[in-house]
A = this chain, B = another copy of it.
Amino acid sequence: MTPARIEELRDFYLRELTEDTIPFWITHGLDREHGGLLDFLDREGRPVSTDKGGWIQGRFTWVLSRLIEAYGTEARSEWREAAKSCADFVRDKVLAGPGGRAYFELTREGKPLVLRRYLFSETFAIIGLAQYAKASGDPGYLRKALETLEVFYSNRGKLAPKIDPLTRSLRGHSETMILINVHQELRDVLMQDDPVAAAGQTSRIDAQIEELFRYFVKPERRVLLETVNYDGSMAEGLEGTCVNPGHAIETAWFLMEEGRWRGDLALVERALPLLEWSLERGWDREQGGLFSFVDLEGRTPAQVEWDMKYWWPHCEATYACLLAWALTGQARWERWFETLHAYTWSRFPDPVHGEWFGYLRRDGSVANDYKGNHYKGAFHVPRFELYAGLLLDAIAARGRGFDALSGPDVLRRLAKGNP
């Protein structure tokens, strides 16, 4: 990649982020009456439901807080106002569940609608509030994040699973992967004022990485599995052979970021096969794009929508390939990045009303033109744009390669804002 291409891409990603994605959500989604974000928006940005997803409140808080940090003194006041609105909605409404649990769905006013038997809403609240503590300088949000972490661990493994555990005990990859990210975010916030607590996060990341490779990664099958038996053996039926390429790729770049932060190239190299296998299995050689699900044995997956192209795996994969190229210099990752970048940006953005479509048919045509629902909201797209922009900016400033790009502080701010 030439320096000119790197700068062109950096400017492109940051412009898309700050001129399209963030303004779309703040203009159409921010609830100026009740706080938080209206996430169920149609193509033009009009709410088709005023119910609020619990996930996105924490996730958008996180996005805005990271954005504010990256832009430093150049951060816009509307980003700060929106971040406070979402953070307070998380603290006061989302986390008002029994025992401090997080609701998955709420009314516009914040009354509880759905409490799930999974703990993902909690994890997004944690990363949002923790980063907002840094963005706002108010440690009260960090305390609430850490309290919610305790809620997470005290409930983990204790909520009634869907499948009777006396008959069959399973492990899901999702909880392991999300914990890696949760502890990375907490460490990032704790690092400056509480090095002991920050080190504790690193230990917990180690435990999750160990779990990941022990149970879910099967090098002999070239796969990271979504669901395994409790002992790590293959689970029954199509659930046991289900591969979610986007999910595995997201885990791969969490690991690459961890290796980069630690200055541990070996960890980066453990992550690369997960990316490679997932692209091998997940890429649609006939029509381009990543399948949503594939089967380890090459059979049709159980999910009837398996061949649809979802927006988020394309965010994860494009960033993962950019990062792999930046850290290793291997030309194949640059080629994959350019392939993914071209597919993604030619298919998902809405040229008329801005932001992205989320759900394409196999052939790339738009199946559902909403800009948000309780899964797609202001998270994967802006995180991708911000992280790609920050990484490209770091490369432009420091050069490519593991040594130039590793260490805890490399990515914190855009170079231009922090000479």
Report A's interface with B, CB cutoff 8 A: 40, 42, 48-51, 105, 107, 111-115, 162-164, 166-168, 236-239, 299-302, 304-308, 358-359, 361-362, 367-370, 373
Contacts and interface: CB of A to CB of B under 8 A. Distances in A.
B368 A306 contact: yes
Contact of A114 (B162, B238, B367, B370): B162
A308 B304 contact: yes
A51 B237 contact: yes
A304 B359 contact: yes
Contacts of A236: 49-51, 107
B300 A368 contact: yes
A270 B168 CA distance: 48
24 contacts: A40-B238, A42-B299, A48-B238, A48-B299, A49-B236, A49-B237, A49-B239, A50-B237, A51-B237, A107-B236, A112-B164, A112-B166, A113-B163, A113-B164, A113-B168, A114-B162, A115-B164, A302-B373, A304-B308, A304-B358, A304-B367, A304-B368, A305-B305, A305-B367
A27 to B, nearest CB: 20
Nearest to A112: B164
B107 A237 contact: no
Contacts of A361: 361-362
A282 B357 CA distance: 24
Scoring A237, A239, A301 by chain B CB atoms within 10 A of each residue's CB, the highest score goes to A237
A367 B307 contact: yes
A51 B239 CA distance: 11
A114 B160 CA distance: 11
A113 B304 contact: no
A107 B362 CA distance: 33
A167 B107 contact: yes
Contacts of A162: 114
A242 to B, nearest CB: 11
Nearest to A362: B361
A361 B300 CA distance: 14
A49 B238 contact: yes
B305 A304 contact: yes
Contacts of A112: 164, 166-167
A220 to B, nearest CB: 22
A115 B160 CA distance: 11
A115 B161 CA distance: 11
Contact of A168 (B40, B48, B107, B302): B107
A237 B372 CA distance: 13
Given A304-B358, A304-B367, 13 more contacts: A40-B238, A48-B237, A49-B238, A112-B166, A112-B167, A114-B164, A115-B164, A304-B305, A304-B359, A304-B368, A305-B305, A305-B308, A305-B367
